[in-house]
Amino acid sequence: MAGNLTNFLMKMTSKKNTLAAGLAAFLFFVFAIGEAAAQSYVQDMKRQSARSDKLTGGAIEKTALAPGDGNLKITVNVPSFQMTLWQNGKEVKTYPIGVGLKDYPIYIGLREASAVIWNPVWIPPDSDWVHASKKVKAGEIILPTDPRNPLGKMKIPLGYGYLIHQAKGAGDLGSLVSHGCVRVMQADLYDLANKIIAARELDVTKEQIAEARGTKETLVAELEPIIPVEITYDTLVVEAGKLRIYPDVYERKTNTAENLRAELKSSGVAATNLDDATLNKMLARAAGKKQFVVSVKNIEAGKALTGGQTLAVVAPSAPASAVRNVVQKRKISR
């Protein structure tokens, strides 16, 4: 099609038909942009989870954060509802998250974290869900003191309106809950911010942070250079010697027998003994908020189904009362 448009453009130009030539040029430009966007989408959808054995060599090296070393990266794998902070390619910490609704999915691809902002303002986007709201208007500045502000105590802008911001509660984790943003529990956001500040040695004092936490005063820490953020949609991952099948939460038809067989083959897993019926049964166990996990050893031993287990994608957090009871028991035992 690009070739046809080019020929059309040349013909119109040779006839000195300025208007037609301009139209042809415009159509060619639109097509080129659309084609580039489509290619980018396909490439982004093929991005592997940062935890894949194909990228880590079979083991993820973990590390405590090294203050003053600003080589950071954040990765998000949507179907696993995990966000990880990396330093020099090593895992510092992984946090459970909530992500965008099916109708308002989170962006898949590369983004940039440009700042850490405590008590952020919120400017509702020019979107249909905002227009349908009776509480806010697109472009309105919603202050951090306003109860209509949904961002909580902190946001990390990722560009084009996408954010990492505070979750409403533990129920957000492992769920499709936002309008394209990443939701994180407040304690985890504070932890992430502290690690970024320490690694980048940002000009923000403990006193300023304490005041921001205790008040509604906005505090901004710019990130220069930015922190790269990679967002993937990888439902089939061989990680640390285990196959993890995550639910296809956006229904993008990633969980097929063909794709699963290809993932196992590309990960060096001998799975010729698995027929499509078995693969489909494995895939069917990853549904709702459940993942199916089985070791590579069990797959190769012919125990792909019997040797696996169905687990929650995000492990439920212990109730606060249970945590208090554990702490009290520890104090008594001392």
Shared domain for 274 and 219, answered yes or no, is no
Counting the structural domains of the chain, the total is: 3
Question: Which pLDDT belongs to residue 331?
Answer: 46
Residue 270 inside a domain? The answer is yes
SS3 289: coil
Spatial contact of 245 and 236, defined as CB atoms under 8 Å apart: yes
Buried/exposed code over 91-121 (b: 16+ C-beta within 10 A; e: otherwise):
bbbbbbbbbbbeebbbbbbebebbbbbbbbb
Shared domain for 140 and 183, answered yes or no, is yes
242-245 β-sheet, strand order? 236-239, 242-245, 290-295, 309-312
Shared domain for 67 and 171, answered yes or no, is yes
Question: Which pLDDT belongs to residue 46?
Answer: 81
Question: Which pLDDT belongs to residue 21?
Answer: 52
Shared domain for 262 and 210, answered yes or no, is no
pLDDT digits (tens, 9 = 90+) for 203-259: 999 999 999 999 999 999 999 999 999 999 999 999 999 999 999 999 999 999 999
Q: Which residues contact 304 (CB under 8 A, 6 or more apart)?
A: 271, 274, 278, 282, 294, 298
Which of 182, 197, 232 terminates a domain? The answer is 232
Residue 205 inside a domain? The answer is yes
Question: Which pLDDT belongs to residue 315?
Answer: 87
Q: Which residues contact 147 (CB under 8 A, 6 or more apart)?
A: none
The two structure tokens encoding residue 321: 């009362």
Question: Which pLDDT belongs to residue 39?
Answer: 43
CB atoms within 10 A of CB 205: 10
Shared domain for 87 and 201, answered yes or no, is yes
Element containing residue 156 per DSSP (H, E):
strand 154-159
Using CA atoms, how far apart are residues 230 and 313, in angstroms rounded to an integer? 20
Question: Which pLDDT belongs to residue 221?
Answer: 97
Cα–Cα distances (Å) from 222 to 66, 193, 200, 218, 260, in that order, read: 20, 12, 10, 13, 42
Shared domain for 102 and 209, answered yes or no, is yes
Question: Which pLDDT belongs to residue 115?
Answer: 98
| Domain coverage including residue 23 | 2-45
Question: Which pLDDT belongs to residue 311?
Answer: 97
What pTM value is reported for the model?
0.83
| Look-up of token digits 């990853």 | 286
Shared domain for 119 and 41, answered yes or no, is no
Residue 13 inside a domain? The answer is yes
Which DSSP letter does residue 98 get? B
Question: Which pLDDT belongs to residue 330?
Answer: 46
Those residues of the chain that have pLDDT short of 70 are 1-45, 317-334
CATH number at residue 225: 2.40.440.10
